[in-house]
Structure 1
Amino acid sequence: MASTTSTVESSDLDVSQFRHTPFYCEENVYFLCKKLCTNRMGDAREADLFVVFISNEKKQRKKEGEFPFLVWDLDSTLPLPLPLGSYVSQAIRPSFQISPEFQRLFRIIHAPILFRHFASDRRHMKDSNGNWMAKPPDYEAIVAEDGTIHNLNEYMEIKAADVYPNNNIDVRDAIFFRKLGVVTNDLGEFFSQIL
């Protein structure tokens, strides 16, 4: 997962400035967005703060553009924040050919929608015996404003059939009002449509 903003000057920030628990990327990004808003480095009320879930139908991985968006990825070794074009070319590497079942898909959610609806009780981090697979964060799990305690699976379930059409449909309307945001297979193209 990564967070994308459009209002901050790019500079090398240290990941230690942000709440970060290894293996809990969805919570790391949730609190990263909250901190960016608190520090006025992003404005969730405006159109400049988004969360991107990166996955594929198998939920597996195989081992500089001129966009005004900046990417904050606490799990990469790249500088923070990084211009979207640089991030795509260095982290996503679209020119690197991978087989279709591992093709990356991106679920993009406007931060205020995520703050309202996202919840994770961390059940996905326990094995079949109920033991933690990685030490959990020392703060309370995220509960949605409506009281939902876990819906991470809804955000992570990303299928090629869910890719939002790049035609006459208003993508801006979809990204700013849908609980689960929009799924795309081209991050750069998507953000060029919402400028």
Structure 2
Amino acid sequence: MMASNLDSASSNSSDVSQFQHTPSYCEENVYLLCKKLCADGVADVSDLFVVFISNENKHIPLWHQKASHRADGIIIWDYHVICIQRRKEGKAVDLVWDLDSSLPFPSTLPSYVSESIRPSFELFSEFQRVFRIVHAPLFLRYFASDRRHMKDSEGNWTSPPPEYQVLVAEDGTVHNLNEYINMSTKDVLEDVGDDSVNAVFTKQFGVLVGESQLEQFFSYISR
């Protein structure tokens, strides 16, 4: 992912330092985050969902982002990726893991939506955000990136890549990032129901929801 400006900021929690983070490679950061949460016993992979945020214009605002120059932390990404952890026990609240956020790590889903997404803030249509929700087991199996999107027309890196090897899907696919980040407001679900919930557990590229449906979707699948 790329933004118009980059700046350093500290997280509200030292826990974030335990996770691999390469600036501008949020999709790979979340891939490794999912694996670490499972390896550390923090989450079961079946309760993790990878959420891509973008739109047809590749201009989406998020608040409280470390890369921002501004006091409110707002930045315009071409796309962003977070992890949402479903929590089914008792009255536990679903959690958002965002390595690029200055909010508490993790944040509760309602808090993250309120503070970072701010659905009540009126946006021009070109900034309306779409959320692609992908079940983590499917993401870890099928996602692949050879990082071609981070090179300019002359083959130079626009941002230094991670030092580890590129991520290759189990079926041998070497790059399919575009299929995750290409999305449009006209393709979002008409309503949240059993069909959409079944789809997120079976479709490689998950389901698309609008801003007003994100919390509703997770409330539905956490029943």
| Counterparts of 2:136 and 2:23, CA distance in 1 | 22
Aligned to 2:190: 165
CA distance in 1, matches of 2:193, 2:200: 15
Does the 8 Å CA contact 1:67/1:85 hold for their aligned counterparts? no
Partner of 2:143: 118
**Pick aligned residue for 1:95 from 120, 125, 133:** 120
Structure 1 residue ranges (4+ consecutive) displaced by more than 4 angstroms after TM superposition:
none
Question: Which residue of structure 1 lines up, in the alignment, with residue 93 of structure 2?
Answer: 68
> Shift of the alpha carbon at 1:168?
5.1
Give the whole-Å Cα distance in 2 for the aligned partners of 1:184 and 1:13.
32
Task: Provide the TM-score with structure 2 as the length reference.
Answer: 0.77
Deviations, residues 143-172 of structure 1 (Å, cap 9, x unaligned):
000000000000000111221231555222
Q: Which of 202, 207, 214 is the equivalent residue of 1:182?
A: 207
Q: Are residues 1:29 and 2:30 paired?
A: yes
Q: How does 1:130-149 map to 2 (within 5 A)?
A: 130-149=155-174
CA distance in 1, matches of 2:221, 2:191: 12
Residue deviations 1:59-117, cap 9 Å, x none? 11356xx8721000001111111110000001001111101121011000000000111
Consecutive unaligned residues in structure 1, runs of 5 or more: 2-10
| Aligned pairs, number | 182
Identity %: 58
Alpha-carbon distance change, 168 to 30 in structure 1, aligned in 2, over 3 angstroms: closer
Aligned to 1:151: 176
Q: Over the residues paired in the alignment, what is the CA RMSD in angstroms?
A: 1.8
